[in-house]
A and B are shown apart, each in its own frame.
Chain A
Amino acid sequence: QVQLVQSGGEVKRPGASVTFSCKASGYTFTSYGISWVRQAPGQGLEWMGWIHTFSGNTNYAQKFQGRVSMTTDTSTSTAYMELRSLRSDDTAIYYCTKNSGMSAWYPSDFWGQGTLLTVSS
């Protein structure tokens, strides 16, 4: 069965960087895209970007361009997302998701359990 297992919660200071990991299993990793979505406290879902797991091509939401990097390690079927220059409003639960196809416009048919990031001084 498809599983996306994310790394544990993080607490960071403003200005720091954080890297999230997402280990996939139960499907061919390089056949489907990976997207990242976050949810701030009391807020809705927010799409951050997508990575083509075979080529490594990425597409980031304009809001995060320059602050986010998405990568994969195909040898371990793991996706990573680095978020830099953290601010307090980056406090949120971050989800990795498997796209139902390779391209970014395919819906997210499986989601990781989420990683809570708290940014506080």
Chain B
Amino acid sequence: QSVLTQPPSVSAAPGQKVTISCSGGSSNIGNNYVSWYQHLPGTAPKLLIYENNKRPSGIPDRFSGSKSGTSATLGITGLQTGDEADYYCGTWAGSLNAGVVFGGGTKLTVL
């Protein structure tokens, strides 16, 4: 049972846009930055978005992030088959004991 709630799966056609939601609470998302990670099978996860909406260098602007209250959203436009992956949101849980919490992950299928 993950602290942050994500839809298990989303799908869309190549070239289309998709959004992935991440819902939490006031102690985690509500008071901390949200990050998003892309996890392709057999590879290490990659940081896609940090501080709610910033992209590390090398991440294309097809990927965007937003946050409102206790929820966050990852958007991907111009979908490509190479975007098929699991996507995770993560944030600080608000205390040293709880540390970082992640969503359960969303499997993106590009039809």
Contacts and interface: CB of A to CB of B under 8 A. Distances in A.
Is chain B found bound to chain A in the same assembly? yes
Interface of A: 35, 37, 44-47, 49-50, 59-62, 95, 100, 104-105, 107-114
Lowest 3 A-B CB distances belong to which pairs?
A111-B44, A107-B35, A105-B92
B101 A47 contact: yes
User: Is chain A's interface secondary structure helix, strand, loop, or mixed overall?
Assistant: strand
Contacts of B101: 47
Contacts of B88: 44-45
Interface stretch (B66-74, B75-83, B102-110): B102-110
Most buried by B among A35, A45, A104, A112: A45
Interface of B: 2, 32-33, 35, 37, 39, 44-47, 50, 56, 88, 90, 92, 96-105
A105 B45 CA distance: 17
B96 A45 contact: no
Contact of B47 (A45, A95, A108): A108
Contacts of B32: 105
A35 B103 CA distance: 17
Contact of B44 (A49, A105, A107, A113): A113
A27 B48 CA distance: 20
B96 A104 contact: yes
A107 B90 contact: yes
Most buried by A among B45, B88, B90: B45
Given A105-B92, A107-B35, A50 B99 contact: yes
Contacts of B2: 44
A10 B7 CA distance: 33
A104 B15 CA distance: 37
B99 A107 contact: no
Contacts of B98: 61-62
A112 B43 CA distance: 9
